[in-house]
Amino acid sequence: MTEDTHSLPPAAQALIQKFQARQAKVGVVGLGYVGLPLAVALAEAGLNVVGVDLDPDKVAALNQGNSYVEDVPNSRLGALVESGQFTASASYEALAGVDGVSISVPTPLRKTGDPDISFIVAASQALRPHLHTGMVVILESTTYPGTTREVVLPELEAGGLEAGKDFFLAFSPERVDPGRKDWTTENTPKVIGGITSACTQVAAAFYGLAIQNVVPVSSTEAAEMTKLLENTFRAVNIGLVNEMALMCERLGLDVWEVIEAAASKPFGFMKFTPGPGLGGHCIPIDPLYLSWKLKSVKYNARFIELASEINTNMPRYVVGRIQDALNDRGRSLKGSKVLVLGVAFKPDVADTRESPAIDVIGMLMDKGADVSYHDPYVASLSEEDWTLTSVGDPVSAAGQADLVVVVTDHHNLDYPAIKEAATLVFDSRNAFDLAGRSDPKVIKL
């Protein structure tokens, strides 16, 4: 920050000095894919960190140095637990006396399509008794513009302290991409917007200890909107390329060949690839937060709604193509053995949140298929009406299946051996790298 800290309220000056001296104790609420890597990064930066999660099993595991998040190896976590730099608790009482708190709780959509911010409200209410002068609170949970100011701020100020003077409140969107090695919590730029300028500067001082590049913006709303723009950009472009796949199939063209050719242009084009649908907590959900918010100002977010419609229908499209492929070979989908390869929402992780594989498997079962799956990262998968366990040998399973469908293209699978064993494959991810080429065994999206 370029502003002179001498013009800040005394509580802000004292807190920034405490962070710079690495004498602060901080808390992280929500120890999932976002919160745990952040807690570890802050602890490794020299802060004393207490993590709060309401799941006692997670807390017990963490206090034994056992991580359930792939981006945090046990060796890293264990060293911090042993040194006392990091502890976990299932009680908000553990936050008594902390100098800063980052909140990373879930923000799902309700079945009605509107945002469920109940976890944010609950965290704010539970934190309020421990709020004190000279403390910063930063919300990271993805939400609609206005949440920090309209929801969190009133909850925290209800105790009599004033934001920007007594305590400091900001929003900083999480930018975690599970499984990445090149961009991590530490080197991914961190956008921060405060309720006031002082709030922004204090939050920047907090995160700047562990994160290499802090990007301040003018308000919490700007920071909230930044996150939604990032994920809406991806959702809309994935929707575009998914529709391109539908058009190419109608025109008898290979969409993968077309994409690779377009990607040869060194400017004005960014490569996106089609697939069986969107997965993960962010991309399928976050744009709908913005769409919902805009309805309150009588604006229809047409790009978002259209992209969501296309992306949401991709699992059904894939199942239809599978049914057609079997019909063309004289088989009915009902009674056929179908092996699904990959059920995580993206390659090389164990996260199945919003995975299109769940919809694909459910639809195949509804049509009478005998479905099994293999995923080296997901041992079992349960939904309301069914539970499956990953088969051990994908090559052997492929040889026993009437059709193999690639939903998630994990990189550690032996695709040539699977293709050799299989009778028929539907490849929704170009896992067999056949752009511009055909194979009698492989049907491409």
> What does the pLDDT profile of the chain (445 residues) look like in tens digits?
445 667 899 999 999 999 999 999 999 999 999 999 999 999 999 999 999 999 999 999 999 999 999 889 999 999 999 999 999 999 999 999 999 999 999 988 887 777 889 999 999 999 999 999 999 999 999 999 999 999 999 999 999 999 999 999 999 999 988 888 899 999 999 999 999 999 999 999 999 999 999 999 999 999 999 999 999 999 999 999 999 999 999 999 999 999 999 999 999 999 999 999 988 777 778 888 888 888 888 988 899 899 999 999 999 999 999 999 999 999 999 999 999 999 999 999 998 988 999 999 999 999 999 999 999 999 999 998 999 999 999 999 999 999 999 999 999 999 999 999 999 999 999 999 999 999 999 999 9
48: how many CB neighbours lie within 10 A of its CB? 18
The CA-based diameter of the chain, rounded to the nearest angstrom, is: 79
Show the DSSP H helices in 180-301 as ranges: 197-208, 220-251, 255-262, 286-295
173 with 264, same domain?
no
40: how many CB neighbours lie within 10 A of its CB? 28
Range of the domain at 69: 5-218
Give the pLDDT confidence score for residue 13 in this predicted structure: 96
Give the pLDDT confidence score for residue 325 in this predicted structure: 96
Q: Is the dihedral of CA 383, 388, 389, 394 positive or negative?
A: negative
Rounded distance between C-alpha atoms, residue 339 and residue 180, angstroms: 27
Give the pLDDT confidence score for residue 229 in this predicted structure: 94
Rounded distance between C-alpha atoms, residue 35 and residue 55, angstroms: 14
Catalytic residue at 248?
no
- Is 225 a domain residue? no
Give the pLDDT confidence score for residue 278 in this predicted structure: 87
Give the residues across from 403 on adjacent strands.
338
CATH number for the domain harbouring residue 131? 3.40.50.720
DSSP designation for 128: G
How many structural domains comprise the chain?
2
Residue 323 has which token pair?
A: 């049914």
Contacts of 272 (CB under 8 A, 6+ apart): 234, 237, 238, 240, 241, 259
User: Helix or strand or coil: residue 142?
Assistant: coil
Contacts of 301 (CB under 8 A, 6+ apart): 287, 290, 291, 294
- Is 162 a domain residue? yes
Give the residues across from 389 on adjacent strands.
380
168 with 235, same domain?
no
Residue 243 has which token pair?
A: 């529709």
Give the residues across from 17 on adjacent strands.
none
- Is 53 a domain residue? yes
Give the pLDDT confidence score for residue 4 in this predicted structure: 61
Pick the closest to residue 274 from 249, 291, 252, 302 (CA basis). Answer: 249
302: how many CB neighbours lie within 10 A of its CB? 9
Give the pLDDT confidence score for residue 112 in this predicted structure: 74
- Is 268 a domain residue? yes
The residue count for the chain: 445
Type and span of the H or E element at 82: helix 74-83
265 with 200, same domain?
no
Structural domain ending residue among the three candidates 164, 196, 218: 218
Contacts of 297 (CB under 8 A, 6+ apart): none
Residue 11 has which token pair?
A: 């509580």
Residue 431's Cβ-side half-sphere holds a number of Cα atoms within 13 Å equal to 29
Rounded distance between C-alpha atoms, residue 293 and residue 115, angstroms: 9
- Is 224 a domain residue? no
393 with 414, same domain?
yes
- Is 298 a domain residue? yes
Contacts of 150 (CB under 8 A, 6+ apart): none
283 with 364, same domain?
yes
Give the pLDDT confidence score for residue 1 in this predicted structure: 45
DSSP designation for 1: -
Q: Is the dihedral of CA 31, 33, 34, 36 positive or negative?
A: positive
206 with 238, same domain?
no
417-420: Cβ within 8 A, 24+ apart: 418/341, 418/394
Type and span of the H or E element at 313: helix 302-328
Let me know the angle formed at the C-alpha of 314 by 275 and 381, rounded to the nearest 5 degrees. 80
Please give the radius of gyration of the chain, using alpha carbons only, rounded to the nearest integer: 24
- Is 90 a domain residue? yes
278 with 427, same domain?
yes
Please classify residue 69 by burial: count the beta carbons closer than 10 Å to its beta carbon, then call 0-12 exposed, 13-18 middle and 19+ buried: buried
Contact 431, 412 (CB under 8 A): no
Catalytic-role residue among 41, 47, 282, 326: 282
266 with 411, same domain?
yes
Contacts of 352 (CB under 8 A, 6+ apart): 279, 343, 344, 345, 358, 378, 381
Structural domain ending residue among the three candidates 188, 218, 248: 218
